[in-house]
Amino acid sequence: MSGREEAGEIDLDSPLERAIGGKSAKLMEKLDLHTVGDLVRHYPRRYVARGSLTDIAGLEIDEQATLVARIDKVVTRQMRARRGSLMNVTLVDGKGRTLDATFFNAHRLQQQIQVGKTMIFSGKVGTYRKGKENVLQLTHPEFEPLDDGEDVRPFVSVYPAKKGVHSWQIASCVRAALDVLDDPTDPLPESIRRAEKLPELGRALRRIHVPETESDYHAARARLVWDEAFGVQLALALRREKALERPAAASPHRRGGLLDAFDAVLPFPLTNGQKSVGAEIAEDLGHELPMNRLVQGDVGAGKTIVALRAMLQVVDSGRQAAMLAPTEVLASQHARSLRAMLGPIGQAGELGAAEHATKITLLTGSMTTAERRQALLDTQSGEAGIVVGTHALIQDTVGFADLGLVVVDEQHRFGVEQRDALRGRGERTPHLLVMTATPIPRTVAMTVYGDLEISALTELPKGRSPIATTVVPAGEKPAWLARVWARVREEVGAGHQVYVVCPRVGGDTGKKADPEDADLIDDEDPDIGADADGGERRPPLAVLDVAPGLAEGPLQGLRIGILHGKLPPDEKDAVMRAFERHELDVLVATTVIEVGVDVPNSTGIVILDADRFGLSQLHQLRGRVGRGSAPGVCLLVTDMPAGTTARERLDAVAGTTDGFELARLDLELRREGDVVGTTQSGRRSGLRLLSLIRHENVIVSARQYAGKILTADPGLESHPGLRALVEETVGEDQAEYLAKA
């Protein structure tokens, strides 16, 4: 951050080796920390007041946890299955909750691990069966006694750690770096610091790690949160200015065009929500500032009609619209439904087409060579006004005559780079319209951070029946699983059909998901825990394993089919047609049914290993039922213990059918995701402290200050410290990414 290193001083850009020595620097490299700035911005996860104990209830499966606990009980026994001894230690917190810690061949530790001692323990949280319940445990954790000497700080700072690098080692390195670090130049204008009552940056960086009082770390966090919010708001404001350098093509509503013709023959009136959202989109399309709008509405709320009207407005201006769908099933369905809705005005080149009709072209990866060649020709020549496709549309070989609008359906199934690929082509930036029934955390975050405009279709779809959602804790109550299959038989006996969803296809030894799936909660195996012998949790359930078991067991005699993304397209289509014709009672499938499947007779869905799925997927999967006159039932089956985040997420799904509410709950439980990068899970956010839920007021204030500063100094030429803050907050690569989002 400064160039003072030549004088031998230590600043935030200095290599860690210069500040803490080579051995410690090597250890910190395991956490991807290489400079002094990297280390001092590796903030504590929490603080434990000296003399108090960590709340065990806050631990999560597969977390590399560090906790301060008292040893309540120690039992050592010989192991039967292997040589050596097993020491089981019961740890207790200040509220009387307990946690088991297991040590193998621990005879050397018996003098250190003694009842009544308070120590710091660090290890991976797993589970094991204790009676009829899954219980949390630490397997062979590292430990260290609390320093009870005279020079004891009032708080123990607990850091995010990993195997082989413990919280107390990080704390020691941080203190060593702070001892030699010179205070950095503060990028925040003094006027803003005074107005917001924020401490200087140097003091905040020290007190976030070594607070003397509670107010110390609260003030430090407030300052560092503010920096992150301000850096993002400056970046977004700069992005908006940059967008004007590559404007979109204005496509105002043209009277007497295809849009008016379509509205005139609609067999039903638009809802009030569709009218108001359509007006917002029409206004955006009429300007050169590229539209960046999210339309959120539940399954069946009429998003497709809204998107089609936007596409027709663009086609009326002589340009093309592209609709991107995540699966071939959905892309084909969209192409069919758009053609059906448009009728003669969507049949250009066909007998009976209306005058000035447009053409709808489908482009997918499984098309024959001749079909693909014709689709590419229609697209590049401009003959096709509307092009519907899967990821095949993103390929460089696909060219457009004049692309004016990109519509992304079920946007949570696409990566940010994929969504951007179409927008980067041509001299002008196409408008962007993304649609979803449940925004992913990143999308909601960007909405509040100021990057996306939001339109919501809040009216309940007509003809939809209520859906009752229940969490089935099979790990704690195995008998409930038998009731699940009995419930399936009841639905089939009443003349209805049921889906059974698994996270994995099967037929392999690994934990491969369906190739068409994009949202399983499997980043770094977050839900794999250890059993009593330190083993891993079983792999996710698979379609090819579950279907035969059901056919030979609890669902014997029912007509069972299977569907997954590894099937050839013609087989997938045949299975779905059979299910639609009620030739099958139960469909065992992966998330290939998540979108593009509409069978009104389906009233039940059983989601196995439900904790392995994202909230957006669970909400979408649930939307497959209750589409007819009969009420729907959704059963979320899980082995996760009560009190874990995984169970909280499932309870959230069971507690609401509102997509935006689910997204906000997901934010509370999983964080925003990397708002300024490509990560969507929240695991490695470029924003270390900023939270959408907790800091909305800070974000709003930062946006206002950013606007005022950039109005007076558009390029931040007079504010080099703020330019550095933007780069530090989002980085060069991520700043470029923001220009795409």
Mean pLDDT value of segment 30-59: 87
Q: Is the pLDDT of residue 32 over 60?
A: yes
Residues 483 and 573 in one domain: yes
Q: Determine the pLDDT at residue 184.
A: 92
Residues 484 and 617 in one domain: yes
Q: Determine the pLDDT at residue 540.
A: 92
Q: Is the pLDDT of residue 76 over 90?
A: no
Residues 314 and 429 in one domain: yes
Tokens of 70: 């008292």
Q: Is the pLDDT of residue 177 over 80?
A: yes
For residue 344, tell me if it sits in a domain.
yes
pLDDT band for position 706 (cuts 50, 70, 90): very high
Residues 414 and 507 in one domain: no
pLDDT band for position 419 (cuts 50, 70, 90): low
pLDDT band for position 620 (cuts 50, 70, 90): confident
CA atoms of 80 and 639, how far apart (whole Å): 27
Residues 401 and 488 in one domain: no
Exposed/middle/buried for residue 384 (C-beta within 10 Å: 0-12, 13-18, 19+): buried
What does the pLDDT look like over 491-532, one tens digit per residue?
A: 999 999 999 999 999 876 444 556 555 444 433 222 223 333
Q: Determine the pLDDT at residue 344.
A: 93
What does the pLDDT look like over 218-240, one tens digit per residue?
A: 999 999 999 999 998 998 888 77
pLDDT band for position 683 (cuts 50, 70, 90): very low
Q: HEC string of 26-87?
A: HHHHCCCCCEHHHHHCCCCCEEEECCCCCCHHHCCCCCEEEEEEEEEEEEEEECCCCCCEEE
Last residue of a domain, one of 436, 467, 490: 436
Residues 410 and 491 in one domain: no
Tokens of 424: 């980067």
Tokens of 723: 């330019």
Neighbours of 523 (CB within 10 A): 12
Q: HEC string of 118-130?
A: EEEEEEEEEEEEE
Residues 497 and 403 in one domain: no
CA atoms of 285 and 277, how far apart (whole Å): 12
Per the structure, the complete domain to which residue 279 belongs is given by 258-285+302-436
Q: Is the pLDDT of residue 463 over 70?
A: no
Residues 489 and 569 in one domain: yes
CA atoms of 526 and 611, how far apart (whole Å): 10
529's enclosing H/E stretch is: none
Mean pLDDT value of segment 380-404: 90
Name which residue leads in pLDDT, 435 or 437: 435
Residues 266 and 406 in one domain: yes
For residue 367, tell me if it sits in a domain.
yes
Question: What are the backbone dihedrals phi and psi of residue 459, each rounded to the nearest 5 degrees, phi first?
Answer: -70, 140
What does the pLDDT look like over 198-211, one tens digit per residue?
A: 999 999 999 999 99
The percent of residues in the chain predicted with pLDDT above 90, rounded, is: 45
CA atoms of 654 and 471, how far apart (whole Å): 7
Residues 361 and 483 in one domain: no
> What are the CA-CA distances from residue 257 to residues 53, 314, 316, 433, 682 (Å)?
70, 10, 6, 21, 45
Q: Determine the pLDDT at residue 135.
A: 76
The percent of residues in the chain predicted with pLDDT above 70, rounded, is: 86
Question: Dmax over Cα atoms in the chain, in whole Å?
Answer: 93
Nearest to 385 by CA among 331, 316, 315, 333: 315
What's the whole-model pTM score?
0.71
On the CB side of 34, CA atoms within 13 Å amount to 1
For residue 83, tell me if it sits in a domain.
no
Q: Is the pLDDT of residue 584 over 60?
A: yes
Residues 632 and 549 in one domain: yes
Name which residue leads in pLDDT, 735 or 607: 607
Nearest to 356 by CA among 285, 433, 254: 254
Out of 72-81, 184-193, 388-397, 501-510, least confident range: 501-510
Core vs surface per residue 408-431: b (16+ CB within 10 A) or e = bbbbbbbebebbbbbbeebebbbb
Q: Is beta strand 586-589 parallel, antiparallel or unpaired with respect to 560-563?
A: parallel
- The dihedral through the CA atoms of 156, 159, 162, 167 has a sign that is negative
Helix axes 720-738 and 214-243, enclosed angle (nearest 10): 60
Q: Determine the pLDDT at residue 414.
A: 61
Mean pLDDT value of segment 458-484: 85
Q: Is the pLDDT of residue 670 over 90?
A: no
Neighbours of 558 (CB within 10 A): 18
Q: How many H-runs (helices) and E-runs (strands) does the chain carry?
A: 22, 21
Last residue of a domain, one of 583, 615, 638: 638
Helix (H, G, I), strand (E, B) or coil at 293: strand
Q: Determine the pLDDT at residue 552.
A: 96
Out of 18-27, 113-122, 594-603, least confident range: 594-603
For residue 131, tell me if it sits in a domain.
no
What's the whole-number average pLDDT of the chain? 84
Domains held by the chain: number: 2
For residue 157, tell me if it sits in a domain.
no
Q: Determine the pLDDT at residue 150.
A: 42
Name which residue leads in pLDDT, 587 or 686: 587
Q: Determine the pLDDT at residue 8.
A: 60
598's enclosing H/E stretch is: none
CA atoms of 465 and 460, how far apart (whole Å): 10
Out of 351-365, 562-576, 696-710, 727-741, least confident range: 727-741
Name which residue leads in pLDDT, 281 or 150: 281
Q: Is the pLDDT of residue 731 over 70?
A: no
Q: Is the pLDDT of residue 678 over 60?
A: no
Q: Determine the pLDDT at residue 688.
A: 86
- Which CATH number covers residue 507? 3.40.50.300
Q: Determine the pLDDT at residue 530.
A: 31
Mean pLDDT value of segment 168-173: 93
Q: Determine the pLDDT at residue 208.
A: 97
CA atoms of 90 and 451, how far apart (whole Å): 49
For residue 347, tell me if it sits in a domain.
yes
Last residue of a domain, one of 406, 436, 466: 436
What does the pLDDT look like over 105-148, one tens digit per residue?
A: 777 787 888 898 888 888 888 887 776 677 788 888 888 887 65
Out of 261-265, 458-462, 540-544, least confident range: 458-462
pLDDT band for position 444 (cuts 50, 70, 90): confident
For residue 398, tell me if it sits in a domain.
yes
Residues 425 and 534 in one domain: no
pLDDT band for position 415 (cuts 50, 70, 90): low
Q: Determine the pLDDT at residue 715.
A: 83
Mean pLDDT value of segment 637-660: 87
Neighbours of 732 (CB within 10 A): 9
For residue 650, tell me if it sits in a domain.
no
What does the pLDDT look like over 242-285, one tens digit per residue?
A: 777 788 999 999 999 999 999 999 888 898 999 999 999 999 99
Q: Determine the pLDDT at residue 622.
A: 92
Helix (H, G, I), strand (E, B) or coil at 470: strand
DSSP one-letter code for 665: H
